[in-house]
Amino acid sequence: MTHSDRTAPGRIPHFPLLAASAAALTLLGCGGGGNGTSFVPVPAATNAPAPAPAPSSGGTTTVDTTPQPTIAKPAGPLALVPDSSAAFSPPDASATQYQKHLSIATANAGAGTFATPAAPGSAAYYNAAALRRQWCYTAENASSPPELQDRAVLPPIQMFDNVWAFGPRWVLQYGFLTGTGKSFLLDALNNTAEAQAITEPGLVAMGTTGAQLAAIMPTHGHGDHYGGAGYLQQKYGTPVYLGSADAAVGARGVPPFTVTQFDSANLQPVDVDFGGLKATVLSTPGHTAGTMSGVLPVKLAGKDYKLVFWGGTGMPNTLALAQQYLDGAERLYRLAAAQKVDGTLHTHPFVDGSLSKLDALLATPALRSNSNPFLVGTSLALRSLSILRECSAAKVAQLDATAVIPAWHTTTTDLSVTAAGQDQKGLRLTATVRNPYGALRDAVVKFSVAPQGATCTAATDAKGQASCLLPAVSGVVASVNASFDDAALADGSLQLGSTAALALR
């Protein structure tokens, strides 16, 4: 059968029990790939509903029998089964905490190619080695990244239907259309001259002007992020938002500007409306006392997506601030996971890979619509933030040799579906849960089937595999899902949750 084949309404699709077919239906965590088989995986866009199922012969889609897990409950505590063929080996027992967290940052970054057709973007724009180098740069080097010397200016580049980037390659700003005839700026460049030469023309390229600028939010109180804010506020009356702990820089601006303050002491996510742009901001002190991070909405071809941004870059060299930096990185990861973000961005764009993505869009503008490089998917966006977390833990350990900081390991959940049961009218759902070093035994996996609503919870075996059997299904299954929630190993290391989703037609 080919991609164009369809199953007649009211009949159960045939799942060939061939290794090649099963492999073709396997997904990597939070998305994966498949080729044409009798059940064709369809990339499921984030925030989009699953494809509507074909009607069954009786007009109702049901699961006839309660799902049956192969292993219903864990036999013991969550455990790692090391795999000598894995790309990474656990840190040596003799490694210092500093060395251990740097090693885990490398493992979390991953190796090889990540296939994420569930995201409209391309995993080719997830560069594991570059992300590992940049997120850990100031944990491993006393000097600043050389990329900060790249003063060439990027012209306005449209990233999404409502987002542009413009400014120097070492530190730029993002302009958002709010959907209400207004605009919003994340960061304000270095000074008045750049606001005049870069920001104002950039707003015009977006189809707006400074007069429609609803808000400016520098990520923190360093001059390369707020330098143009005074000019823009003086000329257009635009509110400038900063964390309260950095608000004093307003009086030192050239010209000075008034700050609308976010409470830096409030470490919980805060929803905010920037002239119609509904964002979430999060106080993440450490780089400065008032650094803010968060999640911003973007639009592409009528669909809504979310990008997470980290507001600070260089790690502090005092223990108390480094501990705050680590805490902020952890809380931002939690926020990004809760909101199922689709990618990342950074106003020092070389840090998170945004610069290479902008270069790709500048060279090939059509990528914006057909393979947007910023939409790497939730799994890879969280993977990037997990590197940041481990690099931040390494910095704390560097400053305090007595610190013992539990590791955070990324995991992947692979999902496959095959025919099973009497007359091959059922489904067998199989998930494999792994961290960078091997399989996770006694991991709890929850499966769900839509639109039937059937769920099944199973535990993984020594190969990291959990399986559930749906003995008989009537109607057409639109999608299946498998999820592994955060859980700790006996050594206290956190195994970060992962999911897989397979849309079927």
- How, if at all, do strands 277-283 and 270-274 pair? antiparallel
The 3-state DSSP class for residue 414 equals strand
The pTM (predicted TM-score) of the whole model is 0.86
Q: Three-class SS string for 327-372? A: HHHHHHHHHHHHHCCCEEECCCCCCCCHHHHHHHHHHCCCHHHHCC
Please tell me what DSSP assigns to residue 198: I
pLDDT less than 70: residues of the chain: 1-66, 112-123, 422-423, 472-475, 477, 505
Q: How far apart are CA 130 and CA 353, in angstroms?
A: 7
Amino acid 422: pLDDT: 65
Amino acid 112: pLDDT: 63
Q: Give the chain's length.
A: 505
CATH code reported for the domain at 130-400: 3.60.15.10
Residues 6+ positions from 189 with CB-CB distance below 8 Å: 167, 168, 171, 172, 173, 195, 198, 199, 224, 225, 227, 228
Amino acid 279: pLDDT: 98
pLDDT, tens digit (0-9, with 9 covering 90-100), for 448-476: 888 878 889 999 999 999 999 877 666 67
Residue spans per domain, the chain: 19-77+410-504, 130-400
Amino acid 119: pLDDT: 53
pLDDT, tens digit (0-9, with 9 covering 90-100), for 227-279: 999 999 999 999 999 999 999 999 999 999 999 999 999 999 999 999 999 99
Looking at the DSSP assignment, which residues form a beta bridge with residue 456?
Answer: 447
Amino acid 138: pLDDT: 97
Amino acid 120: pLDDT: 57
Amino acid 68: pLDDT: 84
